[in-house]
Amino acid sequence: MTATGAEPARDAAIRRNSGVSLWRQISDRIRRLETSGELDSDGRLPPEFALAEEFGVNRHTVRSAISHLVQEGVLRTEQGRGTFFRSRPRLAYPIGRRTRFSAGLEGQASSLQMVLVESSTVDADARVAEGLDLEAGAPVVWLRTIGLADGEPVSTAESWFPADRLPGIADAFRRTGSVTSALSLLGIGDYTRRATTLTATHASDDDLARLKLTPGAIVLAAVGVNVDPDGRPIQYSETRFSADRIELTIESG
Amino acid sequence: MTATGAEPARDAAIRRNSGVSLWRQISDRIRRLETSGELDSDGRLPPEFALAEEFGVNRHTVRSAISHLVQEGVLRTEQGRGTFFRSRPRLAYPIGRRTRFSAGLEGQASSLQMVLVESSTVDADARVAEGLDLEAGAPVVWLRTIGLADGEPVSTAESWFPADRLPGIADAFRRTGSVTSALSLLGIGDYTRRATTLTATHASDDDLARLKLTPGAIVLAAVGVNVDPDGRPIQYSETRFSADRIELTIESG
DNA sequence: TATAGTTGTCTATATCACTATACAAGTGAG
DNA sequence: CTCACTTGTATAGTGATATAGACAACTATA
């Protein structure tokens, strides 16, 4: 299976009066063109008049879509020559028993980094308590992290750890920059993923800011629990991936 | 973990001049309100003026959002009384080694059904051949199916089976209404999922029609390969779920 | 240099999306 | 019945979105 195996077979037509402006729909389509292999090897877009005809809109509408993508850094225009992608391929993130950020994306980006944004010790709310097999209100260490590939944010996560068992997890993470290493420092040499729940929604305000997305972008939300070799939960996490930059692969065999 | 564990923690603010009209953003937000537990037990929406204030828009803009959702069958209004959801909860679809449509959703809907829309024998293109471990161009049986829960479409799939080994798969499916039973009829008593790739995109034209969605809706796309007990691929499939109606759960432990 | 092909700019017009304000009409409770 | 609260309708003004056509500016190539 290829890394882009889940591309839609056919693209949707442009819809009028859908509540989404034509330039926005076209800009979303152009963005997806990049990975569909329909363009020249030099990443050159068809000329504006051709796109206008293909989408059944005025050339100015296409120009509006393009200018937004230029603003966003996705495209670059050269008068007299054409419009080109500033290409960035989509990363494949494996989810399974042994889900780890850096190891999973290794080789797909020249730099991979997990950054701790904020942390504190809080009382577990209902869903965290359930995930970690604790009483509601039990103390947990909360971490907000962002995953960077080549310096660009691709995921943002909130994680909760039982505070009685792993009080130093935040410091350990800050020093090592990785959950795996931090847990290892604290005497947990191995852990596995018990369950993952996936949903997809439009990006929230938070997502837009943290993942540097534009309104209307899609995020993949993964909620999961990691357990130690005895099966005891040690981490409950909610991760949000930019669907434009990441695809999830599930190895179940 | 609860069935709705991956809900966004906070919702995005309404954005002006994003290319997505305010009524559309509000309508998307209201749609998500249903599962967030923020409304009365009778499924009653806050009054229009309150929503208008909350979102920082004119009451007419809220009315526009509501009227679209009424059109769509999500809401129902009663003059003088209020606006109410015609509620439909989200289904949890398990993905793992033993992914099966009906068994997975059992108990979550009063009727579950897999319908064969179309089938034919075709030559495998590159990605199908790769998934099934065949030469490109080898004959494969192609099925287009739709999964219904309580008569409503929740997923649509294309599947390919090696034609030399399973020439009668389409007929068997038509008779039994299930992949599992059809394979069983043809002597394959068990099968497991080898790998699944997930992405999320906006719904295509096809999706809109088959899943009865509205433009801008999100679909979860799963590409997977099923193998027989000897590890030989017997089915390559591309399934598209309505993200509004389905969440995917991954049991990896 | 001439030409075809491309992006950039300008003007004009029509429609959609949103706001503002006012009031009608239905519902439920005192 | 009356009142407070709700949804429904009407009108008018403003800015964003989209169309149409014409032409300028730049690039590559014959």
* Interval A162-180: pLDDT, tens: 999 999 999 999 999 999 9
Q: Where are the strands (E) in B18-150, listed by range? A: 75-78, 82-85, 91-95, 112-123, 139-149
Task: Flag whether the ipTM exceeds 0.85.
Answer: no
Domain assignment present for residue A16? The answer is no
Q: Tell which residue, A73, A63, A181, A236, has the closest CA to residue B6.
A: A236
Interface of B with A in 38-97 (CB under 8 A): 68, 92, 95-97
Domain assignment present for residue A234? The answer is yes
| Residues of A in Cβ contact (< 8 Å) with B227 | 253
Same structural domain, B132 and B241: yes
Q: Tell which residue, B179, B174, B182, has the closest CA to residue B100.
A: B179
The pLDDT value given to residue A38: 67
Alpha-carbon dihedral A116, A122, A126, A131, rounded to 10 degrees = 50
The pLDDT value given to residue B87: 66
Phi, psi (rounded to 5 degrees) for B24: -70, -40
Question: With bands split at pLDDT 50, 70 and 90, how would you rate the model's confidence at A35?
Answer: low
Calpha distance B143→B155 (Å, rounded): 14
Is-contact B154 B211, C-beta < 8 A? yes
Which residue in A1, A32, A97 is closest to B252 by CB distance? A97
- Which of B62, B85, B108 terminates a domain? The answer is B85
Same structural domain, A33 and A127: no
| Residues of A in Cβ contact (< 8 Å) with B202 | 12, 28, 218
Tens digits of residue pLDDT in B60-111:
999 999 998 888 778 999 999 999 988 666 788 888 888 888 788 888 887 8
Residue contact B2–A220, C-beta within 8 A: no
* Chain B contact for A36 (CB, 8 A cutoff): no
Question: With bands split at pLDDT 50, 70 and 90, how would you rate the model's confidence at B39?
Answer: low
Give the three-class secondary structure for B31: helix
- Which of A60, A85, A110 terminates a domain? The answer is A85
Residue contact A192–B253, C-beta within 8 A: yes
CA distances in angstroms from A66 to B18, B69, B236, listed in the order given: 14, 31, 37
pLDDT of A5 strictly over 50: no
| Residues of B in Cβ contact (< 8 Å) with A20 | 19-21, 24, 215-216
What range does the domain containing A238 cover?
91-250
Domain total of chain A: 2
pLDDT-above-90 percentage for chain B: 53
- Which of B49, B70, B85 terminates a domain? The answer is B85
The better pLDDT of the pair A242, B107 is held by A242
The pLDDT value given to residue A9: 37
Query: Token pair of A37, please?
Result: 């292999």
* Chain B contact for A11 (CB, 8 A cutoff): yes
Same structural domain, B229 and B168: yes
Question: With bands split at pLDDT 50, 70 and 90, how would you rate the model's confidence at A10?
Answer: very low
Question: With bands split at pLDDT 50, 70 and 90, how would you rate the model's confidence at A91?
Answer: confident
* Distance from the B207 Cα atom to the nearest Cα atom in chain A, whole angstroms: 8
Tens digits of residue pLDDT in B188-229:
999 999 888 888 887 877 888 898 876 667 899 999 999 999
Mean pLDDT of A175-201: 91
Domain of residue A65, CATH code: 1.10.10.10
H-helix or E-strand spanning residue B53: helix B48-55
Calpha distance A253→B246 (Å, rounded): 23
Same structural domain, A136 and A213: yes
Contacts 24+ apart (CB under 8 A), A123-126: A124/A160
Which residue in A8, A238, A252 is closest to B204 by CB distance? A8
Q: Tell which residue, B231, B201, B198, B133, has the closest CA to residue A3.
A: B198
